[in-house]
């Protein structure tokens, strides 16, 4: 454990103070879902699509994430960085309830999506995942054709429109259409690694989500494909809100607008050390720990 | 060898000498390789002798009787006895086994693997299923006699319940654990990333199972089922206990198919090979050939279907 100069539990509040301090979460239940109900009126900061409040996550008795409160701003790219095992992937997967699939896991606290707690009893995890899509660390196309990969989500969600158009549009947005337009019937597994990952992004886009979660999407890709994905993320953020977990600090610095730095405490639980606009985190970190991490001295 | 590391003495000549020297005297390695090859040849030889012996006895029967051997009913006269009733019995048994063991086995496996989760209870159940797959088949015959035959008798079968449905049920229960285990293995082989991808676009558990997991696991499930089926078709002991007829009986037509007497190829083989005289021995060999051909055809179909499914992706 590196020396900690700052108190890890002190949240460096973002400009708006959007993530409410621990005790009083003044108006989180009052918001109705909808794009125009901005929760906090702030000068520098837009609407928060997701607000995570006092979230702790447990694998059986082991607490992997403790007391995290962060906000994810609309149409921005938020990067979760931190050393291995600090719980950033776990945190990401709580946002679309992917961890529900692992037996023996438990969540404390709230994940508010447009003000609605995703862990409330009447919330259907399947519906959550349709609105909050996901791209995984290892590209995982279905063993189906390129077309069927993209059409899978819309089909199961009962999409009634023109499927051909939707597939084309999704592939275009994922910057893959030019590569595959003549071989839509070929297996998605026949594509290169970078193309497969863009196919997975197209597949996530096709269900028309609001938020796209990316769990180290470039960790298995070469630098060129990585750059393509980053450019793609930059284009996608006009329409979607993106949360990305990355090991690669250059990637966070290059591609994200807002950065959350997590670290592992002595009990191996992940906590937020510092968060803020990416530029500030990388050029003028408040915590010594952050400075050590972003400058590559540990992690 | 260690001199390679010390760079000061390394010259092209010294390296070449070291490399060329190799491990010329690797006696244990050579012995091991010979043993491996020997084991392979021994197994093949046993199989070849078996097949040659059976074919040697069977070919004269086929040459003499032709298709008549395949269509004739059982008889106490070896020159007239045929396996017609056995082929029909084995085919019907195979159908019953497939109809019962496949759906129950597959659904059990899907439940255990995709729905139930990894708890102490499911682990206990899985261990027991694996043990059941190793229970001697004669035990299943007793089960068939005391449960299925009794059940058929109770619902009014005139032949005291010893009918082909009871026999088929017995064989289905016999291979059910095998079907479940192979299906579980096939489901486990489907990478979890596929499931996550499905859930990630908002698929329900049912949609992930039906549209992603089962198609991916289908080749393995199919192969396992057909292999289990050919195991069932070769079983003798449980069928004898569950009422397959030894000796001969008259008639086997559609009206009495499910209620009358029945027999199956392995039972015929068993029966004929006990009888005195070379003539019945030869008939038994011919019946073995018929049984082998049926099993080979079943396995061939399994391989064809599997290859087709794999290409369809």
Which 8-state DSSP code applies to residue B3? G
Return all residues near B10 (Cβ < 8 A) that are at least 6 apart: B3, B4
User: Of how many residues is chain A composed?
Assistant: 299
Token digits of residue B71: 């269509």
* The dihedral sign for the CA sequence A115, A118, A124, A130: positive
Spell out which residues of chain A touch residue B195, defining contact as CB-CB under 8 Å.
101
Which residue is listed with tokens 């058929």?
A: B152
Spell out which residues of chain A touch residue B202, defining contact as CB-CB under 8 Å.
126-127, 129-131, 153, 156-157, 207
- HSE-up of B125 (CA within 13 Å, CB side)? 14
Q: How far apart are CA A123 and CA A167, in angstroms?
A: 29
Q: What is the pLDDT of residues A103-157, one digit of tens each?
A: 889 999 999 999 999 999 999 999 999 999 999 999 999 999 999 999 999 999 8
Q: What is the pLDDT of residues A24-74, one digit of tens each?
A: 434 444 444 444 444 444 446 778 999 999 999 999 889 999 999 999 999
pTM: 0.80
Q: How far apart are CA A214 and CA A222, in angstroms?
A: 17
Token digits of residue A211: 């938020």
Pick from B237, B202, B124: nearest CA to A208: B202
In terms of CA atoms, which chain B residue is nearest residue A148? B313
Which 8-state DSSP code applies to residue A183? -
Please give the pLDDT value at position B250: 66
Q: Give the strand pairing for A116-117 and A105-113.
A: antiparallel
Q: How far apart are CA A111 and CA B281, in angstroms?
A: 77
Q: Helix (H, G, I), strand (E, B), or coil: what is residue A264?
A: strand
Q: Give the strand pairing for A258-264 and A77-81.
A: parallel
Q: Helix (H, G, I), strand (E, B), or coil: what is residue A105?
A: strand
Whether A140 sits inside 8 A of B207 (CB atoms) is no
Percent of chain A at pLDDT exceeding 90: 67
Q: What is the pLDDT of residues A181-228, one digit of tens each?
A: 999 999 999 999 999 999 999 999 999 999 999 999 998 888 888 998
Q: How far apart are CA B80 and CA B248, in angstroms?
A: 12
Please give the pLDDT value at position B224: 87
Q: Give the strand pairing for A62-73 and A116-117.
A: unpaired
Token digits of residue B226: 């057909």
pLDDT mean by block of 10 residues, chain B; 313 residues: 55 81 75 96 96 92 88 84 88 92 95 89 93 92 89 74 87 95 93 93 93 91 88 90 75 64 90 88 93 90 78 47
Is the ipTM higher than 0.90? The answer is no
Spell out which residues of chain A touch residue B191, defining contact as CB-CB under 8 Å.
140
Query: How far, CA to CA in Å, does A125 sit from each of A253, A283, B187, B201?
Result: 32, 39, 24, 11
**Whether the Cβ atoms of residue A64 and residue A57 lie closer than 8 Å to each other:** yes
B121 has a chain A CB within 8 A of its CB: no
């Amino acid at each position: 454990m590196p020396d900690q100069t700052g108190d890890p539990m002190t949240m460096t509040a973002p400009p708006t103070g959007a993530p409410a301090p621990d005790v009083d979460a003044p108006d989180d239940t009052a918001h109705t879902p909808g794009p125009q109900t901005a929760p906090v009126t702030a000068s520098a900061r837009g609407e928060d699509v997701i607000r995570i409040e006092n979230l702790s996550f447990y694998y059986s008795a082991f607490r992997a994430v403790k007391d995290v409160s962060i906000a994810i701003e609309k149409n921005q790219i938020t990067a979760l960085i931190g050393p291995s095992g600090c719980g950033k992937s776990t945190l990401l997967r709580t946002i679309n309830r992917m961890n529900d699939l692992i037996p023996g896991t438990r969540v404390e606290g709230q994940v508010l999506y447009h003000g609605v707690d995703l862990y409330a009893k009447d919330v259907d995890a399947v519906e959550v995942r349709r609105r909050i899509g996901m791209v995984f660390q290892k590209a995982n196309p279905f063993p189906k054709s390129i077309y069927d990969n993209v059409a899978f989500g819309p089909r199961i969600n009962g999409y009634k429109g023109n499927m051909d158009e939707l597939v084309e549009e999704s592939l275009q947005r994922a910057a893959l259409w030019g590569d595959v337009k003549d071989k839509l019937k070929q297996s998605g597994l026949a594509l290169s690694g970078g193309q497969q990952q863009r196919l997975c992004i197209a597949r996530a886009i096709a269900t028309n989500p609001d938020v796209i979660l990316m769990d180290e999407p470039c960790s298995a890709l070469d630098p060129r494909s990585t750059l393509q994905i980053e450019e793609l993320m930059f284009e996608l953020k006009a329409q979607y809100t993106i949360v990305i977990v990355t090991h690669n600090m250059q990637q966070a610095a290059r591609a994200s607008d807002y950065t959350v730095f997590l670290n592992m405490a002595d009990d191996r639980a992940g906590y937020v050390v510092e968060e803020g606009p990416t530029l500030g985190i990388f050029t003028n970190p408040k915590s010594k720990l952050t400075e050590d991490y972003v400058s590559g001295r540990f992690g | 060898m260690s001199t390679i590391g010390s760079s000061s003495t390394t010259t092209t000549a010294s390296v070449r000498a070291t490399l060329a020297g190799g491990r010329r005297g690797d006696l244990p390695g050579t012995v091991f390789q010979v043993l491996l090859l020997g084991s392979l040849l021994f197994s093949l030889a046993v199989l070849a002798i078996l097949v040659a012996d059976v074919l040697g006895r069977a070919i004269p029967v086929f040459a003499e009787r032709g298709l008549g051997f395949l269509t004739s009913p059982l008889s106490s006269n070896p020159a007239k006895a045929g396996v017609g009733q056995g082929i029909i019995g084995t085919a019907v048994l195979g159908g019953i086994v497939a109809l019962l063991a496949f759906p129950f086995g597959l659904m059990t496996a899907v439940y255990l693997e995709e729905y139930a989760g990894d708890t102490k209870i499911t682990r206990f159940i899985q261990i027991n299923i694996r043990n059941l797959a190793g229970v001697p088949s004669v035990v299943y015959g007793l089960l068939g006699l005391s449960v299925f035959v009794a059940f058929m008798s109770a619902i009014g079968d005139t032949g005291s319940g010893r009918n082909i449905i009871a026999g088929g049920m017995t064989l289905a229960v016999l291979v059910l654990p095998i079907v479940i285990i192979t299906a579980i293995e096939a489901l486990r082989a489907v990478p979890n990333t596929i499931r996550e991808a499905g859930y990630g676009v908002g698929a329900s558990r049912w949609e992930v199972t039906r549209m992603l997991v089962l198609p991916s696991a289908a080749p393995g499930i199919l192969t396992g089922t057909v292999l289990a089926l050919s195991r069932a078709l070769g079983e003798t002991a449980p069928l004898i206990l569950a009422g397959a007829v030894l000796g001969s009986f008259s008639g086997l037509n559609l009206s009495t198919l499910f209620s009358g007497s029945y027999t199956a190829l392995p039972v015929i083989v068993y029966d004929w090979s006990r009888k005195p005289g070379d003539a019945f021995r030869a008939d038994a060999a011919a019946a073995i050939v018929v049984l082998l051909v049926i099993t080979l055809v079943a396995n061939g179909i399994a391989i064809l279907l599997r290859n087709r499914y794999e290409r369809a992706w």
